[in-house]
Every structure is written in structure tokens, then in C-alpha cells.
């Protein structure tokens, strides 16, 4: 889930284009007093009593990394996920085979009128232990200044911590002998970190699809809070396709098939130059706007409401600090800050993630490479689709004579949208308000996530992310998830557990 | 010395554009009978008697790798080089400091009318022992089918083997109590493998310059023979500049200074796109001809004689085999073979050696890189110069608005030319003829070497490479140099030693 990488940059505030909502700029009450009385008191008591078990559950899960890119512990990870689900009260738990790695599916049917979908990923990103301060599978407790005692490990925040916290809420409700106020449908995948290539197979399995279609919406548990305690409520996100463009002598029929001595350039064509020439047709000369034929045909401009949300958010932001953090002097096209934030949300992009050809080490090496690769990501906005984008890119290359330049699409998602007046979003906002947490409505996340599996047919339900609490370092070394908060505005694991419980009761009660 | 990499490709035949000369297509007599009688007999006897010592001298030298890129054993390597020179009879041997690694200089003045310059490099290319079949510093003897028993080690052929063989000739002449027929000036450097950045400082030190200017010419000892026993006599070589073009947010003042999340492309400029746009101005749209302003201003077209030499050579070559070996279906611009070989010798090139930006591992990673690098080599032909090329490339980038794109020139050489009627070339041809070795005149090597240090002012003497014998794997694992030949057309170390002795006497005697 690409947007989770954003917190590595610590620039979430920049990306959300937020407007303040809910409880207003200041929190109504400090988090530790949440649900200290009334019908939630027993659940809180149970959550506190179960905290050690919840942390152990998370630590044990971190110790079993499932990594699809390395085909590591996949069967074990699915089995463990199924066991975690059963343990939390899900019945009919099944491991769902796909053409890739298996998904997991289960339900809790309490006969409630409303049903909530929950999306889990049981896989984690690759890691290099040498880059970590403590072993990435150990789950060491470390103090994070400004936040508090945190568990450090691969998957801590992305996504096992928030997921384990959601499970902790189910355990607490059961331990408190409270009645679950909504039915729950759980769908899990093991390939999120490689772009969810087979997740649609899980979601469209007839019994899974039938269950999902009954949901009022679905969310992924998320540790949303920054150091001010604020959270985002995203009304959609961009789509993405990630791909390699490959020019090669092999495919081209010109230039060498392997690397040859560079002096031969005088009598041979060069796949590296071929790639450069193909690339430069994809964007305007300033590199800033896609120039692929028909690219904007289905682009829906932002609504006035969406632009207003972004402009309002811009007013509260510190432009100079953002620029400094990103290391930039100017925004694209020399735009003003609010216009740059609108462009961030509105425009599709063609980005070069990486270039790889020939010799890439220190200094030089006199070769003419037989192959050159550009790694691109193309962000898509409503109503573009991934399928449309792939087709148009191929047609563009072909039209410009680059029929030999290969497109190796590794993954992607359609853009998503979720209506501001959907019950899912209204429940999020109401829950955050009840929790005294400042919620910012984000018109459109510039990042991407596999929510379109849910928002698009045949599932067609609202999809979002939800949760208080905090963590950071997704995809990076020393990833962590906050357990015992020392920051009065940020939830530790028990408060985050209560946040999920609050959501369930709010969903059951909201109009 | 970039042209030595060519044998890794085993395509020397392709690159030389050769015409047969000298003893004709068949050798006059098998190598083992060389100098078996007459005044050279005593020298041969001494060379045979000294063979074990010569091999040991080479093996010991291989065991001490001087690698300028790693600043490894440089002082030790220079001291060892000086000791080797003294041991072979050079006097006034001095280590010549430079702003980089030291050179070594020495002379043997026997009061002869003629003086020969000899160029040595004491440094070797980097190596990774894991890639080798035997330890790269061990000098293991291994049978190479079709050639014979060979010593395997880093520097074996590039260039310690041929150099040790030249020293063996001096030892043999002395041991035979023969009078050296010419004076010898030895100049050595330790930075050849990093592009000879300070070699001019060695060559222009007043006493060294004065000694060099007395030379009839200078050569680097070389194991020139392919499996047919044929050798090349090059009448010049292309020059080269190697450089990195770097686009960065840091320098540009636009785009991020470091890598940021790729979704930000919608509001930030991209250094990677900047690089692509700058690159594509450097060549014609097919990537085949430099489009840098004024690039061809000083290019001297090949003479009719030079073209004739190439066309003659093309007749003897196996075009289909060349294409197969290179993995190509067509030559550049769909040229006929002989025209492609003429283009190979004639045209300057702008080649992409490598592209490096952002994420270069498997799959993708959603970043917008703050920096993008193209590694280029630009081959130069007479009468271009490296200084001119650097200046014109910078001016071109500036004129096109890419003042921010950095040029990081790591090394380079001017083109060289040596007259076919120079005493050096005539001596080479006469020596090869006397040895019964087929010599091919190559109008211009498409590769590059630091010979311009000698051919250009203030030294201004003919420079070339000379030697029989065989080896392969320069810059590659399992580099080797032939010691005991089983191929009747190819010289082992003793015959190669006699080849150098023959050259010295021929130079003394030729008109």
C-alpha cells in the first residue's frame, strides 16, 4: 500500500490537502480519559487487562515475516493469519487459494443489522537486518521521544500493529462479555507489498463476494495519528501503474544483444539511446505533464468542494517548513502553494522511479549496454483506469515507432473514491469526534492503495482506512508501532484498541 | 588502456579493420625455430635459461596488485617497479611524484645512436576474487586449450606479463653478454586504469621530457597475437572522454534534493526527467550521431589510403560470424559491412555506458529520485581534442538551458596518430616480418589509449604497442598470459622475449 510509505518522508501533512473538521483544532479532552465510564468502561477494562497478551500476539506475529517478493513463509503466514482470526472469534475461517499467494477469509455474524468489512494484509516488506538498530524480527521495546514506548520490528506499523490492535478490540469486547454491535467480514491477503496481483481472486470468490457486498464499507486498520494527534480521512486516492520500460537489442533487432565494447557505438545502434528517445515522448519538455496520447480523456477535474477542502488545508500548513523538509525551492510550474496542492491531488503523473542501464558502479566502464530499463510509476486520477492507462501507453509507444520497447507492468491499482456522505466516512468522522481526535478531510490522497478492489464492481462498497495510534518507518529500517504513549494527544495501543471499539458502536448507531 | 578491454569481447578482428601485410597470409616458419642460429642464438639460450626466473618475477609482481582506484599498494607498487627496472639494468631510476600516484623513470644509455622509449603501467584493474577460478594473486599455471600453459592472475596480460617479458629480454641480452643495440628510456605510471590523470606530470618532468624527446618512438609491451598468430599494427586510435552527466535537485534548484515519495511528482519537478531531456539533445533522434554544437568542426575525414586499408581488411573478415558474436542483426544505419567498418574508424561517438537513478533493484519503488546520472563515453577522432570536446559539450548543455546539469569528467585521452612511414612503425613491420608473424595494418583503432601523452607536444614522438605472445581477460576474471605455447603460430614467453630482442636489433639496423 503505497501511501503508507509516505510517513517515511514525514510529509503526510503536505500530502493530504486537509481541512480541519470534527472536534476542531484543539482536542476536547486528553486521550487517557476516553471511555472511562459508561457502556465502554468494561471493554476498556478488558483491553487493559489484555494488553500484555495483545503485545505478545503482535510480537509473535512480527517474528513470522511473510514476504511475497521472496516467497518466504507464505503458507505459514496464511495459516497463522487464519489462526489469529479464529482466535479473535471469526468463524468459517478459510484459506483462499489464488494463482499467487493465498488469502484468508472469515466472518463474525452476530445477526446485527449492519456489517463492517475489515481488510488485512499478512505480508510485510523485505528488510535488511544490517540496517536495523535492533533485530527486525525481535520486537524490541524502544522509547521514541515525543511518542513513548514502541515495539520495533518489520511489519510493526505496516500493518501488523494496527491489525493486532483491531483484533485486540474484538478480544476485549468478548472478554467484557459485551455484544458485538455489528457483523464483521474479514478479508486478508499476502501479496499487498507486491501490488496485490491476485487479491481480486480472493475478493470475487463467490462466498467472499457475497459477504463483502453486505458490508456498509470496509477499512484497513491504520495508525493514523501524527504527533499533534490529528488524523486524515481520505475521500479517495490516486491509482497507479508501476512498470518497467525496457529497450533491448534482443527485442529491437538492432544494437547488441548483450553488453559490448563501447567503441562499437560507431557501428552499432544503442538500446540505451533508444530508451532515452522513447522516454522523452512520454512527457512535455519540462518533464511535468504526461504527453501520452489520450491520457486526459477520462480525467475528472476536481470539484469546487474538493478544491475548497485543499485550499482550506493549505491555509493551516507551513509552506516554508514543507519546502525545507522536501529540499525544494519552488513548486512545479512555479505554482503558489495552494495551487501546487490542488495540482498534487488533480493531475496524473508519469514519474521515473529509477533508471538502470549498463555499468552503474563508481566511475565508468567502456561498454555499450545491450539493455536499458526505466522504472516508472504512473499515478492515475478518477476516472482513469489501470487497464486504460496500460493500453494507451502501449498505443503511444507503438504510434511513435517504439514497438520494440517492452512494457513490463509489475502492479497497479485503479483510483478510488469514497463519498463524503457514505456511512463509512460519516462513521469515521463521528468516531473521531467522539474520541476527541482532530480529523482532517483529505480530498484525494496522491498516493495509492488497493481500495479499488472494493470500490469497483463487482464489490462496489466504500473503502477507507481508519484508526488512531501511531507508528512510522513502513518499508524502512527500525519500523515501529507505539504501545505506551507519553504524548497526551496520541493513542497508545490500549487507546487505539478503544478507538476501534468506538467505531463499531458508532457504526451500529449512526443514521 | 581502453583498447585492451577489447579482447574480453574476442572481437579484435572486427575492430582493427586490418589489411594483411608483412610475411603474407601464412607464416614463413614456425615460431619455435626463431633465432635458433646466428647472433641471436646466445640471447635465446639465455632467455631459455632465465625462463624460470622470468616467470617467478612475473608471479611475484602479480602477487603485489597496485590499484589506484582503491589506493591500494601504490607506494609499494612504485618501489617494486623501480626495483624491477634497476634489476633489468636501468640506471638513474627514480620515483617521480605527481599530484596523484607516482610514476617511475629510468634509462639505459649504451651510447647507441638510437633510443627506444618503453611505456609501462604498474597498476592493475580491480578484481573480485569470488569471480575467479583460482586466486587472482596466486599466479596459478593453467592449461588454456588452443594456446598452452598460462599464468592466471590479475595483471597477467594487462600489463605485467608483456612488461615482464620485455624485462626478460633485457636480462637475456645482458646474460648473453651481448651489447644492447639501442638506448632505452623507461617511463611507468600507476594510474593507467583510472585514465592516467597525472601521467603528463611524469612525462613532462624536465629530465624525463628531455629523455623522451631523444626517442625514435615509444611502445607499450603487448601480447598481440590471436589464435592465428596474427598481430595488429595500429596507425592511431580514437580519443575518449569519460564523464558523468548529473541532474540533481541540489544543483538545479528545482525538484527535490533527495529521494521523495513518487506521488509528489504532481507538485515537484523531476531531476530524472531533466536528465532525459538533456541527454536527448546530444544525439540525432536515432541515437547514432553526435548533435553537440560544433562537434565535427575539427574532424579529419579518413584518407583514401586509410579507407582502402579498411576495405581490404573487410574482405578477409567473416561478417556473419562477427554479427553472431556481437548479437546484432544489422549494422548502424543499415550499412554494408565495409562501410560500417569505415564508420567505426571514422566517426566520433556519444555512447551511454550506464544510467543510474533512483531505485535500481528488482521490481519498483515509488520514489521521485533527487539525482540522476548518465555515464557517457565520447570517442574522439583526429583532430578533435579532449579539451575541445569538454568545452563544446559544456557549451552545448548551457546553450540548451541545462546549465545545472553537471559534467563530471573522470578521464580521457586525445586521439593519436602514428605515421605509417615512421621508424617505429617500420621497425614493427620489419620485426614481425623477420619473426614470420602476420601483421595487419589497422588504420585507426576505435578504442583509446594514453599514447597522446607521447604523440602530442611537448613530447611529440611516435607511440604504439608492440609484442608477440598471447593472453586474455584484461579487466575480467581469470585473466591469463601464455607461458608455454602449444600453438605453433603463437609465441610463448621465451619466444615473446625473443620478439622484443629482435625489435631492438631491428630498430638499431633499420634505415
DSSP per-residue letters across A221-266: E-----TT--EEEESEE-EEEEEEEEEEHHHHSSS-SS-EEGGGGG
The CA distance from A487 to the nearest CA of chain B, in Å, is 27
Point out the residue among A238, A267, A364 whose CB comes nearest to the CB of B343.
A267
Report residue B97 CA to chain centroid gap: 23
What pLDDT is stored for residue B8 in this prediction?
32
- Per-residue pLDDT for B283 more than 70? yes
* Cα within 13 Å of Cα(B40), Cβ side: 21
- Rounded CA-CA distance B480/B152 in Å is 4
The CA distance from A247 to the nearest CA of chain B, in Å, is 13
Task: List chain B residues with CB under 8 Å of A7.
Answer: none
Task: List chain B residues with CB under 8 Å of A365.
Answer: 353-354, 375
In tens, the pLDDT along B440-470 reads: 899 999 988 889 999 999 999 999 999 999 9
What pLDDT is stored for residue B474 in this prediction?
86
Please answer yes or no on whether B363 and A69 come within 8 Å at the CB atom: yes
* Residue from A366, A410, A411, A445 to probe the interface with B (highest B Cβ count within 10 Å): A366
In tens, the pLDDT along A142-198 reads: 999 999 999 999 999 999 999 999 999 999 999 999 999 999 999 999 999 888 889
Please answer yes or no on whether B447 and A263 come within 8 Å at the CB atom: yes
Q: Identify the DSSP state of A195.
A: T
Q: Decide: A292 and B358 in contact? Cβ < 8 Å.
A: no
The CA distance from B420 to the nearest CA of chain A, in Å, is 23
The CA distance from B446 to the nearest CA of chain A, in Å, is 5
Which candidate, A316, A338, A320, places its Cα nearest to that of A329? A320
ipTM value of the model? 0.86
CA B424 → CA B418, B462, B465, B508, distances in Å? 9, 7, 10, 11
Region A280-290: mean pLDDT is 97
Please answer yes or no on whether B358 and A362 come within 8 Å at the CB atom: no
What pLDDT is stored for residue B480 in this prediction?
97
Q: Which residue bears the cell 566517426?
A: B347
Region A11-23: mean pLDDT is 34
Grid cell digits, residue B114: 638510437
- Per-residue pLDDT for A291 more than 50? yes
Point out the residue among B242, B287, B372 whose CB comes nearest to the CB of A364.
B242
Region A366-390: mean pLDDT is 96
In tens, the pLDDT along B194-203 reads: 888 899 999 9
Please answer yes or no on whether B261 and A11 come within 8 Å at the CB atom: yes
- Rounded CA-CA distance B242/B452 in Å is 16
Task: List chain A residues with CB under 8 Å of B355.
Answer: 272, 275, 355-358, 360, 372
In tens, the pLDDT along A31-68 reads: 444 444 456 999 999 999 999 999 999 999 999 999 99
In tens, the pLDDT along B482-510 reads: 999 999 999 999 999 999 999 999 999 99
Region A210-235: mean pLDDT is 95
Query: Higher pLDDT residue, A14 or A40?
Result: A40
Give the model's confidence band at B38: pLDDT under 50 very low, under 70 low, under 90 confident, else very high: low
Q: Identify the DSSP state of A302.
A: P
- Rounded CA-CA distance B54/B111 in Å is 27
Q: Report angle CA A339, A344, A347 to the nearest 5 degrees.
A: 100
Most distant CA atoms of chain A, gap in Å: 83
Please answer yes or no on whether A280 and B283 come within 8 Å at the CB atom: no
Q: Decide: A238 and A379 in contact? Cβ < 8 Å.
A: yes
Please answer yes or no on whether B355 and A353 come within 8 Å at the CB atom: no
What pLDDT is stored for residue A313 in this prediction?
84
* Length in residues, chain B: 511
Q: To the nearest whole number, what is the mean pLDDT of chain A?
A: 91
Query: Higher pLDDT residue, A108 or A475?
Result: A108
Region B260-276: mean pLDDT is 96
Which candidate, A23, A437, A10, places its Cα nearest to that of A231? A437
In tens, the pLDDT along A479-502 reads: 999 999 999 999 999 999 999 999
Residue A355: which region, alpha, beta or left (left: phi > 0; alpha: psi -120 to 50)?
A: beta
- Per-residue pLDDT for A214 more than 70? yes
What pLDDT is stored for residue B27 in this prediction?
35
DSSP three-state, residue A356: strand
- Per-residue pLDDT for B28 more than 80? no
Domains of chain A and CATH, by start:
2-234+418-509 (3.40.630.10), 239-299+348-413 (3.30.70.360)
Region A305-328: mean pLDDT is 90
Q: Count how many pairs of residues, chain A against chain B, have C-beta atoms within 8 Å.
A: 311
- Per-residue pLDDT for B13 more than 80? no
Q: Which residues of A221-250 are buried (b: 16+ CB within 10 A; e: fewer)?
A: bbbbbbeebbbbbbbbbbbbbbbbbbbbbb
Give the model's confidence band at A2: pLDDT under 50 very low, under 70 low, under 90 confident, else very high: low
Give the model's confidence band at B30: pLDDT under 50 very low, under 70 low, under 90 confident, else very high: very low
Which candidate, A402, A165, A297, A242, places its Cα nearest to that of B286? A402
Query: What's the N-to-C CA distance of chain B in angstroms?
Result: 31
Give the model's confidence band at B425: pLDDT under 50 very low, under 70 low, under 90 confident, else very high: very high
Q: Identify the DSSP state of A59.
A: H
- Per-residue pLDDT for B7 more than 90? no
Please answer yes or no on whether B264 and A326 come within 8 Å at the CB atom: yes
Amino acid at each position: 500500500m503505497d501511501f503508507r510509505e509516505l510517513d517515511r518522508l514525514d510529509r503526510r501533512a503536505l500530502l493530504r490537502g486537509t481541512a480541519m473538521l470534527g472536534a476542531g483544532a484543539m482536542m476536547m479532552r486528553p486521550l487517557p480519559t476516553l471511555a472511562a465510564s459508561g457502556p465502554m468502561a468494561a471493554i476498556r477494562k478488558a483491553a487493559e487487562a489484555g494488553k500484555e497478551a495483545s503485545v505478545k500476539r503482535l510480537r509473535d506475529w512480527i517474528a513470522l515475516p511473510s514476504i511475497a517478493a521472496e516467497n518466504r513463509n507464505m503458507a505459514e503466514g496464511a495459516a497463522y493469519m487464519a489462526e489469529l482470526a479464529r482466535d479473535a472469534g471469526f468463524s468459517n475461517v478459510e484459506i483462499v487459494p489464488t494463482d499467487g499467494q493465498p488469502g484468508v477469509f472469515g466472518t463474525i455474524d452476530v445477526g446485527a443489522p449492519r456489517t463492517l468489512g475489515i481488510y488485512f494484509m499478512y505480508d510485510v516488506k523485505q528488510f535488511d537486518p544490517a540496517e536495523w538498530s535492533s533485530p527486525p524480527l525481535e520486537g524490541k521495546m524502544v522509547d521514541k521521544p515525543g511518542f513513548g514506548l514502541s515495539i520495533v520490528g518489520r511489519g510493526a506499523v505496516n500493518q501488523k500493529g494496527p491489525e493486532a490492535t483491531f483484533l485486540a478490540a474484538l478480544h476485549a469486547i468478548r472478554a467484557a462479555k459485551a455484544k458485538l454491535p455489528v457483523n464483521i467480514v474479514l478479508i486478508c491477503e499476502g501479496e499487498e507489498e507486491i501490488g496485490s496481483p491476485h487479491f481480486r481472486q480472493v475478493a470475487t470468490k463467490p462466498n467472499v463476494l457475497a459477504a463483502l457486498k453486505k458490508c456498509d464499507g470496509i477499512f484497513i486498520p491504520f495508525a493514523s495519528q501524527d504527533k499533534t494527534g490529528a488524523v486524515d480521512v481520505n475521500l479517495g486516492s490516486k491509482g497507479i501503474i508501476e512498470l518497467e520500460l525496457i529497450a533491448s537489442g534482443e527485442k529491437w533487432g538492432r544494437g547488441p544483444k548483450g553488453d559490448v565494447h563501447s567503441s562499437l557505438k560507431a557501428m552499432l545502434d544503442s538500446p540505451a539511446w533508444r530508451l532515452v528517445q522513447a522516454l522523452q515522448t512520454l512527457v512535455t519538455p519540462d518533464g511535468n505533464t504526461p504527453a501520452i496520447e489520450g491520457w486526459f480523456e477520462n480525467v475528472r477535474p476536481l470539484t469546487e468542494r474538493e478544491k475548497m477542502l485543499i485550499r482550506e488545508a493549505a491555509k493551516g500548513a507551513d509552506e516554508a517548513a514543507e519546502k525545507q523538509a522536501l529540499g525544494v525551492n519552488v513548486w512545479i510550474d512555479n505554482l503558489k502553494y495552494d495551487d501546487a496542492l490542488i495540482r498534487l491531488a488533480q493531475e496524473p503523473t508519469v514519474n521515473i522511479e529509477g533508471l538502470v542501464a549498463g555499468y552503474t558502479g563508481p566511475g565508468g566502464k567502456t561498454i555499450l549496454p545491450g539493455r536499458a530499463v526505466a522504472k516508472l510509476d504512473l499515478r492515475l486520477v478518477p476516472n482513469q483506469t489501470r487497464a486504460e492507462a496500460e493500453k494507451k501507453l502501449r498505443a503511444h509507444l507503438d504510434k511513435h515507432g517504439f514497438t520494440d520497447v517492452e512494457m513490463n507492468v509489475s502492479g497497479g491499482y485503479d483510483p478510488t473514491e469514497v463519498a463524503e456522505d457514505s456511512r463509512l466516512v460519516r462513521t469515521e468522522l463521528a468516531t473521531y469526534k467522539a474520541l476527541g481526535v482532530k480529523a482532517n478531510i483529505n480530498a484525494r490522497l496522491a498516493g495509492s492503495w488497493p481500495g479499488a478492489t472494493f470500490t469497483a464492481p463487482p464489490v462496489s462498497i466504500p473503502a477507507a482506512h481508519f484508526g488512531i495510534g501511531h507508528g512510522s518507518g513502513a518499508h524502512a529500517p527500525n519500523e515501529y508501532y507505539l504501545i505506551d504513549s507519553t504524548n497526551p494527544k496520541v493513542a497508545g495501543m490500549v487507546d487505539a484498541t478503544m478507538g476501534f471499539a468506538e467505531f463499531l458502536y458508532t457504526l451500529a448507531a449512526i443514521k
